[in-house]
Chains A and B, each alone.
Chain A
């Protein structure tokens, strides 16, 4: 790379790379995809970052244009060869602009271990809403409750009306499926699945993995893999579309 490219083109590449990230973050904020990636508590932080990045780019553009007349000023030799860092940044931002992220699938849930249903929530039940009538509790409310009062028989006969996506853990009998939600505390990186088994009258294969269901029924206790396990006996199952915000908090 000759001196000319280094001193004139690379600074512009830097600006372009940072600007592309500002635009990407703004885009996620505007089209609501931010919720797929991070906890809502940090939306403002990301939006602010996007604005600051664009401001920095604006200032730097002014600076570069002002400086164009003066001869070579600063070139960078850094950890990566010149131009590589900005190319990595730019390329990743373009990837993000072209491809839309999707919510995790059941594959991640199985990878992270949805199987041990009860021992699974890490989050303390900060908003513990036991006063809610059973049919208004979400899947996550149920699992949190179960963490505090683990005796499944306590809940027998209570009405259930929950939404979630389907996982087929290999160790479940064929007439059961796992209805799950991902819970996040910071970003999708710490998404962990919580779920309850659902007992069907037919084979669970009728409901493919990752499809979203609304399940109504009542609580029973099943013996699964030698463990007594709170289970939903389904009375009606409805296919639903993926909710706008698929995570729970």
Chain B
């Protein structure tokens, strides 16, 4: 038992120590870029063709290197500024995977299996494009959106008012972001990356430098704390599974082409580990699970997981979230099963 605890602790710490730099990098990079990219000019250049739009949307992650916790506020902002559904959905599903930091982290973890790195990108692109394209059939997206977002699309309000709107629907426990305490007790204003940016833009130039830095700092500390905690919980789960679950169970599960994919998809949905660092989590299973199942974890996890569903519900109605979930899950399953059966 003593040995097991020691092994689990070493595994746990090594996951954390290797992942921390990438987490920090992701948080800093996305925070800084949010300040410098002019979205309106970007949106004007987006293609109108749904298929192409979804594909281009999938690549926007290169400009906003966010993980799956940061992409929802950005996607919401894009939608509200009139970006078409395929672009927004493509971005939502692919941005957590297709961005330089995540690709670097995946490469770090799977240096000796480069096919995992490449296929992770390719599969995420395929799935994001197909799902985005499917959503283009629904020309009027509003019935699928939360009322507040739908309203914002219909009649654009002045930026600051839309963004700092009062949160009244639903539980706030599962909503990520910063909240400003209002002047009345119990009143809360939700602050997320979009509000951060709006505040930054609205800040008078006289005191802007200090205030900008201070907001960026605030944002960094918060995200680091929040995502760091999720990373710790995820690493603890990975270490515990490695050490506590009997070898026969893991091997039986991990060797089957179908069971391994199903198990890894389930795990990715539950663990909710951030996409910048999930490749290290997957790595700890690399010797026992099929390549297809590792890919399933790496492709599906960033798209939809327990933590992400809470965030997605701040944009979409439950019906739309279920569509997204089912289609993405099926496509991931088919693609990675194909790898297990016919390639590796």
Q: Is the CB of A108 within 8 A of B24?
A: no
Partner of B7, one of A73, A104, A113, A186: A104
Within B167-188, the residues touching A (CB, 8 Å) are 172-181, 185, 188
Q: Is the CB of B242 within 8 A of A111?
A: yes
Residues from chain B with a CB closer than 8 A to the CB of A112 are 287-288
A3 in contact (CB, < 8 A): yes
Q: Is the CB of B217 within 8 A of A63?
A: yes
Residues from chain B with a CB closer than 8 A to the CB of A149 are none
Tell me the complex Cα distance, A46–B191, Å. Answer: 31
B63, chain A: closest CB distance, angstroms: 23
Majority SS of interface residues in chain B?
helix
Residues from chain B with a CB closer than 8 A to the CB of A185 are 111-112
Within B1-49, the residues touching A (CB, 8 Å) are 3-4, 6-7, 9-11, 13-18, 20-21, 24, 28
Q: Is the CB of B287 within 8 A of A107?
A: no
Majority SS of interface residues in chain A?
helix
What interface size band does chain A fall in?
Answer: 35 or more
Tell me the complex Cα distance, A80–B230, Å. Answer: 9
Q: A12-20, A158-166, A223-231, A234-242: which one contacts chain B?
A: A12-20
A75 in contact (CB, < 8 A): yes
What interface size band does chain B fall in?
Answer: 35 or more
Q: Is the CB of B112 within 8 A of A187?
A: no
Q: Is the CB of A56 within 8 A of B220?
A: yes
B2, chain A: closest CB distance, angstroms: 10
A156 in contact (CB, < 8 A): no
Partner of A80, one of B109, B178, B181, B226: B226
Residues from chain B with a CB closer than 8 A to the CB of A104 are 7, 10-11
Closest partner residue, chain A, to B222 (CB atom): A76
A42, chain B: closest CB distance, angstroms: 7
Q: A84-92, A200-208, A211-219: which one contacts chain B?
A: A84-92
What 0/1 pattern do residues 60 to 102 of B give for CB contact below 8 A with A?
0000000000000000000000000000000000000000000
Give me the 4 closest cross-chain CB pairs, A-B, nearest first. Answer: A188-B14, A85-B229, A189-B284, A37-B14
Binding site for B on A (CB under 8 A): 3, 6-7, 11, 14-15, 17-18, 21, 25, 28, 34, 36-38, 42, 45-46, 48-49, 52-53, 56, 59-60, 63, 72-81, 84-86, 88-89, 92, 95-96, 99, 101-105, 107-108, 110-113, 122-124, 185-190, 192
Binding site for A on B (CB under 8 A): 3-4, 6-7, 9-11, 13-18, 20-21, 24, 28, 108-109, 111-113, 172-181, 185, 188, 191, 213-214, 217-218, 220-222, 224-226, 228-230, 232-233, 238, 242-243, 247, 251, 280-281, 283-284, 286-288, 307, 310
